[in-house]
Amino acid sequence: MKTITFGLALALLASQALAQQMLSTASPIPDGAESRFCYYDGMAYSEDAFVLMVGDNTVTNTVSTVQERLLRCHRDNDGTLKWKPQSTFSTNN
């Protein structure tokens, strides 16, 4: 009886290790996804979608500039979707 239980435990461990290996090598982004979506901050955006990026320019301590960049999801000549800058704004605080 102990042999059967031990063998069953080894079989379960082996199948679990195989499942974990398959999960670790799998990509969360499906093949060909770059031709259907633009990705930013963990989200997928369709063609012609806009994203506004806002950030502080902290090059020096004396200047505090806020930059805003508007990006558009654009289809490139090769068929892939990429972010294309539309405009950039800087404001001093």
84's CB contacts (< 8 A; 6+ apart) are: 71, 72, 73, 74
pLDDT in tens, 81-93: 999 999 877 776 5
Mean pLDDT across 39-61: 82
pLDDT score at 61: 64
What's this model's pTM, rounded to 2 decimal places? 0.55
pLDDT in tens, 18-33: 555 555 555 666 677 7
Q: How buried is residue 72: exposed, middle or buried, by Cβ count under 10 Å (0-12/13-18/19+)?
A: middle
Mean pLDDT across 2-20: 58
Tell me the C-alpha distance between 23 and 41, whole Å.
Answer: 22
